[in-house]
Structure 1
Amino acid sequence: MASKLLLLGLLVNLLMLTDAEPVGVCNGRNGNNLPSEQDVVTLFQNKGISRMRIYDPNQSQATLEALGGTNIEVMIGVPNDALQSLTDQNAANTWVNNNIVKYSNVNFKYIAVGNEVDPNNENRGYVDFVLPAMQNIHNAIKGAGLDDRIKVSTATYTGLLENTSPPSHSAFRGNVQGFIGPIVKFLVENNLPMLANIYPYFGYLGDPNKNLQYALFTAQGTVVPDDNGLQYSNLFDAMLDAHYAAQARVGGENVEIVVSESGWPSEGGEEATPDNAGTYYKNLVEHVRGATGTPAKQGISIETYLFAMFDENLKGGAETEKHFGIFSLSQQLKYDGLTFN
């Protein structure tokens, strides 16, 4: 009997290890030189990419039409400048009808209501609109009978946090808690995930120790020990667990986090090179496709979306913002060995 139980346990462990989590890719369209929407969807299919994030349905209608019947799982965004209008329930109903119900053969999975809204950044003007818009979109999804398969959330980011190292000390910044606390409560009450954009590249830039290996998943052994006994050998896990720790402090300990963006630029700034970008993307995919989770969330899958399909020549901000593409404009993979499922 003992040998049979041991064999069964080994089989279960093998199944867990081979049940890899596929990664998605963000399909940003902030460029004037990009392949057509249909070509991009075809590229997703040809490369076996089964999840896509798109940011603005008003700019992505051709993408939605091309996605019909493909079974590609879709995270669709509500742009920040549309949030105020969706504080009206009728407007939210119309948005869902026009962008979700209308495309009944698209496999929608998430709606990201707002992106990186923060009382401390240029998006501060949208703070009061995020939660009401989320509630109204969720109500509209329920009204359409789609809440069993489409989850409503918002995409946050590490800029909302403080005291992130070691991760267990992390908390939302003082003037952020009044904004994010009610959002986390809404997610808890409705069994919805949090979306978080996790960028070790920017964490590396802000690290006085500038440990590139820690950011690229190439460090040997522990780099950051936590006082709860957990040990961190890569910055991605540390940043993700910092988000979990901050959520726990506002009642969201069991709210799952989906990594809605993560990437590394190939030019335009410090350590923004093709070699570093390729190393980061390949190691990230290998990491999240495993079944080990993070030190604080062992055994929990890390659903992750790579940012992004192509370099976006019209993006503002730092020069690096234009250079996160993993495919060239000729639709060739820029990094040898990068896989998606």
Structure 2
Amino acid sequence: MALSSKNQLLSLLLLILSSCILIPEPTVVSFNPSIGITYSRHPTSNLPRPDRVVSTLRSLGVTHVRILNPDHDIIRAFSYSGISLLLSISNTYIHAMAANQSQAVQWLYRNVVPFYPRAHITTISVGNDILTSSPDLTASLISAIRHVHLALHDLGIRKILVSTTLPFDIITSPFPPSAAEFKKPAAEWIMKPILDFITTTNSSFLINAYPYKLFRSHPEVPIGYALFQQNPFNFREDPTTGVQYRNLFDVMVDAVNSAMAAMDHKGIPVIVTETGWPSDGDVNEPEANKQYASMYNVGLVRHLRSGLGTPMRREGPTETYIFELFDEDMKQGPRSDRHWGVLNRNMTMKYPIPFSGSNRCFVALLKQMVVSFCLMFAFLV
């Protein structure tokens, strides 16, 4: 190759290099909601060890994990991982904690004190879906929440927030979102004290929101509307506000915002503690399949990363947890109830979910490759 040709090629490569160096980093939106996953260790299932699970979650870019039925091994595995934890106290403890604060102290000594702050615990949910799954415990819920909060403060731990996880069916109807309210009589005798506590302690409203279940109970809802599919006519307008909703997830979140506002509690942060889509189901559940599960979860992450929030609140939910890490093979009920997991038992993903939400690694790799190539070429000539 002639010297002039080599110089021209080298000049071209240097131009490419300079262009790559100037590649802008991805735009960071003002609101960056946290996207996590729910992890529960089923005693009857042969699941991978917690340390292996944590390693896989870190490699996937997962930054937040909600732990159902926490135990020593799981929480210890997350120490120094950089992953934020939302712990859920089993419903079986609620009555005892409500009756005696010492029961809350004992639970904290088992599951928080030995690991905090090495394990980054940010929130504790006192119970899960109590109003639906354990209605007999409803009267004990507020006392249990307060006792856990007071026990944390007595232990000198003030940065862990306390709340409870509520089912979406406490809402009268999500259509239209602006008219949604909490069902009566629960609105006054249980929801009001919960909202008062959350406001006083600067905590968050925790809700399980499943567009799949709402879609199943409302046949008039198009499947694409539930799966974040984008097209010009895929929206529903709130007749009261005139706001257009382009997916069912936003409808549900804003229904919660409206219900809180109707009780004079605006601006409370919302955490969606469970959402997702089943990857398999019975014959009468054709929409429960891997393709739709992938479409929902990938669409959910893309929507949350967009920074658009919801029509009612620009920041949207502050945290959203996909349900769940593994299938529950031993669970009773419809087949779809057992197939919400996104990981196989060998720790491979059923389908890719872009948890990290960034292409910085690609940009950095591209720059590094061009630099190396240019240096190698310069050495050869």
- TM score, norm. by length of structure 1: 0.90
Which ranges of structure 2 fall in alignment gaps of 5 or more residues? 1-23, 358-381
Q: Which residue in 1 is equivalent to 2:349? A: 333
Select 2:174's aligned residue among 155, 160, 164: 164
- State, as a whole percentage, how many aligned pairs show the same letter: 29
Alignment partners' CA distance in 2, 1:304 and 1:158: 14
Q: Which residue in 2 is equivalent to 1:265? A: 278
Query: Is 1:21–1:302's contact at 8 Å kept on the other side of the alignment?
Result: yes
Alignment partners' CA distance in 2, 1:280 and 1:89: 41
Q: Which residue in 2 is equivalent to 1:99? A: 111
How far off is 1:14 after superposition?
Answer: 4.6
How far off is 1:168 after superposition?
Answer: 0.7
Q: Which residue in 2 is equivalent to 1:4? A: none
Select 1:174's aligned residue among 174, 184, 206: 184
How far off is 1:270 after superposition?
Answer: 3.3
Query: Is 2:39–2:67's contact at 8 Å kept on the other side of the alignment?
Result: yes
Alignment partners' CA distance in 2, 1:251 and 1:55: 31
Q: Is 1:314 the equivalent of 2:330?
A: yes
Which ranges of structure 1 fall in alignment gaps of 5 or more residues? 1-10
- What is the total number of aligned residue pairs between the two structures? 324
Select 1:132's aligned residue among 122, 139, 143: 143
Alignment partners' CA distance in 2, 1:315 and 1:252: 37
Q: Which residue in 2 is equivalent to 1:89? A: 101
Which is worse superposed, 221-230 or 47-56?
Answer: 221-230
Select 1:53's aligned residue among 53, 56, 66: 66
Task: Look up the SS of the partner of 2:219 in the other structure.
Answer: coil
Q: Structure 1, residues 22-60: CA drift from partner, whole Å, max 9, x if none?
A: 411100223512212221111112212111111112xx2
Query: Is 2:85–2:123's contact at 8 Å kept on the other side of the alignment?
Result: yes
Task: Look up the SS of the partner of 2:301 in the other structure.
Answer: helix
Alignment partners' CA distance in 2, 1:284 and 1:234: 10
Alignment partners' CA distance in 1, 2:329 and 2:317: 33
Q: Which residue in 1 is equivalent to 2:54? A: 41
Query: Is 1:168–1:242's contact at 8 Å kept on the other side of the alignment?
Result: yes
Select 1:297's aligned residue among 302, 313, 316: 313
How far off is 1:219 after superposition?
Answer: 4.5
Change (3 A) 1:122 1:16: closer
How far off is 1:252 after superposition?
Answer: 2.0
Task: Look up the SS of the partner of 1:254 in the other structure.
Answer: coil
Q: Is 1:198 the equivalent of 2:209?
A: yes
Equivalent position amino acid for 1:161 in 2:
I
Alignment partners' CA distance in 1, 2:247 and 2:113: 41
Alignment partners' CA distance in 1, 2:127 and 2:133: 13
Q: Structure 1, residues 289-340: CA drift from partner, whole Å, max 9, x if none?
A: 2222100002445411111111111223322111001111111111135434
